[in-house]
Chain A
Amino acid sequence: MENFDDYVRARGGALLRFAYVLCGDSHRAEDFVQEALLRCSRKWRRIENGAGPDAYVRKAILRQYLSWRRRKSAAEHVSDQIEPADRRRDASDSLGERDAIWRMLVQLPRRQRAVLVLRFYEDLPTDEIAALLGMRPATVRVHASRGLEQLRRHPDLTRDFSSVKEMT
């Protein structure tokens, strides 16, 4: 398990950030990462001998996120009052737009948000996103399109997003 320990020490921060961007809550992100790592630890030898732990652990985190949201979202209250993590630095239109985008992301349906996070935060191509989420590439593009459309319509965005190019 030494390699598992090394991996968590080396990649824990990145995993937590990934989970945080997914769910928008640091405590929940930690929970997702812990649970994902726990499950991966049981088959770590196979994971580390495979294509690499990152993809496997990332998929496990995604499952946690999607599963949790699936369970709770029926009654989960989505607030538009969510404060960005660093609002005090919001001194420009540009930062204001970033915060508006973040607030909008928090409110997106989980699969749309997951697709956008994987595309824009993890920089993954559509095929890899589809594999991670267990959906067809066309479905990924639909989720991305709808997520971007939500951003496009957000009233807090001060610039013109009407010609946003959808993910291809």
Chain B
Amino acid sequence: MNDSDLNFALRESMERQALSAPLPDGLLAATKQRLRRRRIRDGSVGGVAAAALAVGLVFGGQAMLTGNAGASDGSIAASPGPSSEAVEPEESSPPGFEDGEELSNSVPFHNVDVVDVCLSYDDDEFVEFSIVERVDGEYMSGMWGQTTPETPNADGILTNIEYMLNDSQDSSVRMTLEEGALDEPPAEDTHTFTTADGHEGLIGVDASTQWRTLRVESGVSDVLVRIDLNADENVVSESELISWPDMLDFHADSEPCQA
């Protein structure tokens, strides 16, 4: 096979795979639904950065864990249920997008022994997060999404994000990242902390990419991850099946969550 044959083979391989790929239907509707969800997030923006971020984990089919950005005391305390101080979404819809589209979904997790949460800002200044479950150290499933669009302030935002975890024994814990703690990453790029019930957490910070990584270990099972964008609307991000077998080690890298 000569040079041009290889080029042809390469092109043909891609085209063949593209043509045989299982493509989903309803791309337009799905995109609109995603835009609708994002619009709600846009509408939930308050004056405080990340004001409406809420991450809820539901264990054993019952709402047990809710994280809610917006608190300011930097405390670690038990607190059930979603925030009741959500900001109302804006009323206007983007052109061509109707109200009343389906907003909810759910992603069941099973037999979780570790929940990883990864937060970051992307180029468009959204807060992004990833949550994955692992069983016996093996990645099982995960989800990711984006939260409130916002303009990072001079302090780097993400100053008030709370997570509350409940395990199968219904012991709950809520963690609050201390205000400003993420703005001054230590040289080793990680913070460690211990939650009220003794769970260890790890925050990885890469100042160059503004990644914020939070990992919480919890011996729970039957976990459902949910994103609460305000008190009335529970919006769940897409599930994501990726191979992530070595989560524990990535914190040792100088670039958390990064190649």
Q: A residues engaging B (CB < 8 A)?
A: 1-2, 4-5, 8-9, 12-13, 15-18, 20-21, 24, 26-31, 33-35, 37-39, 41-42, 63, 67, 69-79, 84-86, 94, 97-99, 101-102, 105, 110, 116-117, 120-121, 123, 148, 151, 159-161, 163-165
Contacts across chains A and B counted by CB atoms under 8 Å: 160
Per DSSP, are chain B's interface residues mostly helix, strand or loop, or mixed? mixed
- The answer on a CB contact under 8 Å between A71 and B9 is no
Given A69-B259, A102-B17: A77 in contact with B27 (beta carbons within 8 A):
no
- The distance from the CB of B159 to the nearest CB of chain A, in whole angstroms, is 22
Residue ID in chain A nearest B242 by CB atoms:
A72
- The answer on a CB contact under 8 Å between A8 and B122 is no
- The answer on a CB contact under 8 Å between A26 and B96 is no
- The CA of A21 and the CA of B124, in the complex, are separated in Å by 25
Q: Which residue of A41, A71, A78, A165 contacts B35 across the interface (Cβ within 8 Å)?
A: A41
Per DSSP, are chain A's interface residues mostly helix, strand or loop, or mixed? helix
- The CA of A78 and the CA of B246, in the complex, are separated in Å by 12
- The answer on a CB contact under 8 Å between B18 and A17 is yes
Residues of A within 8 A of B118 (CB): 71
Given A85-B21, A121-B18: A12 in contact with B28 (beta carbons within 8 A):
yes
- The CA of A98 and the CA of B12, in the complex, are separated in Å by 7
Q: Is B72 an interface residue (CB 8 A)?
A: no
Q: Which residue of A26, A70, A72 contacts B24 across the interface (Cβ within 8 Å)?
A: A26
User: Which residue of B11, B19, B255 has the most chain A CB atoms within 10 A of its CB atom?
Assistant: B11
